[in-house]
Amino acid sequence: MANVQEFSDRLVNNIENVIVGKRETVELAVITLLCQGHLLIEDVPGVGKTMLARSVARSIGCSFSRIQFTPDMLPSDVTGVSIFNQVSREFEFRPGPIMAQIVLSDEINRATPKTQAALLEAMGERQVTVDGLTHFLPEPFMVMATQNPIEYEGTFPLPEAQLDRFLLRVRLGYPKPMDEIKVLERQQFLHPIESLEQTVSEKEVLEAQEEVKKVFVAPAVKEYMVDITRRTRDFPDVYLGASPRGSLTLFRAGQARAAISGRDFVLPDDIKALAEAALCHRVILGPAARLRDMDATEVIDEILGSVPVPGGDLSGES
């Protein structure tokens, strides 16, 4: 997996020219790309959510589009529309912004549920259907959506089906004082995103995505993943636990994390490191837990502390 590790290091180091002091979050974005998944970035304004998406697109040289969601948007504003050509006397498909390779869905929770649903087919099946005709999306394809968890005026909370489509959910958080000083210095004359260069090719991305699938996952580690996911469904304060897609997320993301670490097998530590980003947005707390201001992170931490960690040789070589 040395080639995937080298690929990841190049990509992460390049993105860090723009996103300062958030290596762990940048690595989670790269893991999402390697797993052919989609990323939900949930944080307050001004911490670099949009810049992270733009940096990923520039670093891999992919087409990029940004959809600024508003309450008056229609599904056709996302997917595209068929327009009648009076010269050819035929309908022509005018593709919407979803037809790019890296799509930034900015403030996704400002759109109505009908418009949010337009993303479901694209995210789940990598295609869109307009007027009965199916149009396949380019590869690689990744949706990076942002939402502000503080502001509720004029927003529509994402439904469970939509949240479940996101492989991981991350938060950037405020930078440390020294990192914030670096941000000031780097943006004194020109924003670093303007000079960010492509560091890997589309072909390398597709090859790395296939390479990640070869990472070995021991039966004991698979049982560990499933046990964690199942316990979210039985947890007393949880109204709805993670679906089997949560287990699959841990499986795929675990393979990617092992690969970018230079290993060809998954460790329980990989699963522990990914559990919060992979499961928290899939867990819905009950009313009593919400009244106590309980957070899904606390549930995952408690589950991780109670599930026995598998030991022994997990490399598959013995």
pLDDT of residue 238: 86
What is the domain range of residue 73?
A: 1-214
Cα separation of the two ends of the chain: 19
- Could you tell me if 73 and 112 are in contact, meaning their C-beta atoms sit under 8 angstroms apart? yes
Strand partners, 72: none
pLDDT of residue 141: 92
Residues 150 and 221 both lie in one domain:
no
* pLDDT-above-90 percentage for the chain: 40
Confidence of residue 156 (pLDDT cuts 50, 70, 90): confident
Residue 318 has pLDDT above 80, yes or no: no
Tens digits of residue pLDDT in 180-225: 898 888 888 888 888 888 999 889 999 999 999 999 999 999 999 9
Q: How many domains does the chain have?
A: 2
Choose among 19, 73, 12, 92: nearest CA to 50: 19
pLDDT of residue 290: 79
Residues 210 and 223 both lie in one domain:
no
Residue 312 has pLDDT above 60, yes or no: yes
Confidence of residue 72 (pLDDT cuts 50, 70, 90): confident
* pLDDT-above-70 percentage for the chain: 97
Out of 66-80, 109-123, 202-216, least confident range: 109-123
Name the domain boundary from 190, 214, 238. Answer: 214
Residues 131 and 235 both lie in one domain:
no
pLDDT of residue 237: 84
d(C-alpha 175, C-alpha 170), whole Å: 15
| The two three-digit tokens of residue 42, written as one number | 């949930």
pLDDT of residue 11: 93
Residues 228 and 203 both lie in one domain:
no
Give the domain CATH number at 300: 1.10.8.80
Strand partners, 80: 95
Name the domain boundary from 214, 239, 270. Answer: 214
| Maximum Cα interatomic distance, the chain, rounded to a whole number of Å | 71
Residues 223 and 170 both lie in one domain:
no
Average pLDDT of the segment spanning 6-19: 92
Residues 147 and 226 both lie in one domain:
no
Question: 3-class DSSP state for residue 227?
Answer: helix
Residue 30 has pLDDT above 90, yes or no: yes
Residue 92 has pLDDT above 90, yes or no: no
Residues 22 and 60 both lie in one domain:
yes
Residues 198 and 234 both lie in one domain:
no
Give the domain CATH number at 72: 3.40.50.300
Total number of residues shown for the chain: 318
Q: Look over the chain and give the mean of its residue pLDDT values, rounded to a whole number.
A: 88
Residue 313 has pLDDT above 80, yes or no: no
Name the domain boundary from 199, 214, 229. Answer: 214
